[in-house]
């Protein structure tokens, strides 16, 4: 698994040109890019390949969830694009996770393979409606354990779950990527339980996802730089044995 960016900018654009215009302001040495279903469906793999060619770490956030063979083939296709992170729904089950794991090589240049547990858009009532009566936090932990059992590299989760889910992974440095992040003083938009970049990393995230505070800023590169500076500040305050 390759070394990961600590900040992924969520490119939630319907318009490919808008996404490319924003990326033109960003520096691959300072941040990675998260490409999700909307932009990928509009722009296709060519755009991802262009970002990779420009030197950006790309988190391909397509949350694969299908029969094991199909998910394995999709993961192989993601590896061929040269992305740094690919994700699947842990709810797809053990066989699907195992197939994904076999498809993504565990070499230094291969992407991290991470799992989505319970979507943060779901509350307890929504879980019950799909037949899951276990408390939501326990369900997320159960799915994270399944992901760990099958050798996945980590999870994407809320920063509020990061500490609990980090403990589940046996590998020393699991990949814990947290959205729902707002630099101090930014608008919340439609996020509710947010953390600042600094708080999220202190809570156990290995990388954060930030969208609108960067993509809607007048000077996006300045916001990226100030977020990265706030994380560097944290590192300098931690003891040498603390998590980087
Ligand atoms: O603009 P904002 O920073 O809220 O964007 C957050 C990104 O992270 C979006 O792409 C959103 O879909 C994604 N995300 C999230 N919460 C989750 C999972 C993904 O906000 N639980």
Closest CA to 208 of 5, 1, 2, 3: 5
- pLDDT for 46 beyond 70: yes
Which tokens belong to 89? 């729904």
> Mean pLDDT over residues 36-54, rounded?
97
Range of lowest pLDDT (147-151, 154-158, 175-179, 188-192)? 188-192
Specify whether the backbone of 49 is left (phi greater than 0), alpha (psi in -120 to 50) or beta. Answer: alpha
The rounded distance, in Å, linking the Cα atoms of 9 and 58 is 9
Specify the residue with its C-alpha closest to ligand 1, atom 13.
Answer: 179
3-state secondary structure of 124: helix
- The finding on whether 120 has its CB within 6 A of some atom of ligand 1 is yes
- pLDDT for 2 beyond 90: no
**pLDDT by residue (tens digit) across 69-106?**
999 999 999 999 999 999 999 999 999 999 999 999 99
- The finding on whether 223 has its CB within 6 A of some atom of ligand 1 is no
3-state secondary structure of 165: helix
Please answer whether residues 37 and 48 qualify as being in contact, where contact means their C-beta atoms are separated by less than 8 angstroms: no
CB-based contacts of 92: which residues, under 8 Å, 6+ apart?
A: 64, 65, 66, 68, 71
**pLDDT by residue (tens digit) across 119-142?**
888 889 999 999 999 999 999 999
> Mean pLDDT over residues 229-239, rounded?
67
Domain 7-237 has CATH 3.20.20.70: yes
Q: Active-site residue 3, yes or no?
A: no
Count other Cβ atoms within 10 Å, centred on residue 177.
28
pLDDT of residue 235: 56
Residue 40 has phi, psi (to 5 degrees) of -65, -40
Q: What is the reported pTM?
A: 0.93
Q: Please return the burial class of 152, using the count of CB atoms within 10 Å of its CB with bins 0-12, 13-18 and 19+.
A: buried
Count other Cβ atoms within 10 Å, centred on residue 222.
12
pLDDT of residue 234: 56
pLDDT of residue 240: 41
The rounded distance, in Å, linking the Cα atoms of 21 and 177 is 25
Alpha carbon 222 to chain centroid distance? 22
Please tell me which residue in 3, 34, 37, 63 is annotated as part of the active site: 63
pLDDT band at 236 (very low <50, low <70, confident <90, very high): low
Closest CA to 71 of 43, 38, 48, 104: 104
- pLDDT for 232 beyond 90: no
Closest CA to 43 of 73, 71, 23: 23
pLDDT band at 239 (very low <50, low <70, confident <90, very high): very low
Which mutation among 180, 183, 212, 214 tests ligand 1's pocket best, with the greatest number of atoms within 8 A of CB? 180
Specify the residue with its C-alpha closest to ligand 1, atom 19.
Answer: 179
**pLDDT by residue (tens digit) across 15-28?**
999 999 999 999 99
- Provide the mean pLDDT of the chain: 93
- The finding on whether 211 has its CB within 6 A of some atom of ligand 1 is yes
pLDDT of residue 243: 37
């Amino acid at each position: 698994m390759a070394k990961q960016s600590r900040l992924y900018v969520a490119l939630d654009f319907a318009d490919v040109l808008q996404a490319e215009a924003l990326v033109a302001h960003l520096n691959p040495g300072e941040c990675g890019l998260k490409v999700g279903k909307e932009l990928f469906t509009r722009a296709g793999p060519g755009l991802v390949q262009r970002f990779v060619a420009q030197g950006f770490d790309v988190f391909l956030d397509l949350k694969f969830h299908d029969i094991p063979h199909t998910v394995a083939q999709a993961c192989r296709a993601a590896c061929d694009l040269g992305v740094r992170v690919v994700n699947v729904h842990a709810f797809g089950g053990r066989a699907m996770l195992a197939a994904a794991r076999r498809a993504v090589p565990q070499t230094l240049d291969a992407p991290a393979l991470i799992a989505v547990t319970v979507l943060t858009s779901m509350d307890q009532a929504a879980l019950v409606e799909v037949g899951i009566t276990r408390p939501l936090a326990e369900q997320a932990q159960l799915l994270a354990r399944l992901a760990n059992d099958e050798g996945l590299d980590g999870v994407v989760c809320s920063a509020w779950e990061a500490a609990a889910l980090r403990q589940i992974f046996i590998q020393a440095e699991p990949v814990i990527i947290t959205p729902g992040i707002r630099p101090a003083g930014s608008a919340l938009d439609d996020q509710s339980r947010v953390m600042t970049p600094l708080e999220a990393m202190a809570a156990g995230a290995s990388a954060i996802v930030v969208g609108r505070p960067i993509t809607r800023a007048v000077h996006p590169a300045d916001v990226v730089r100030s977020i990265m500076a706030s994380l560097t500040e944290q590192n300098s305050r931690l003891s040498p044995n603390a998590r980087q």
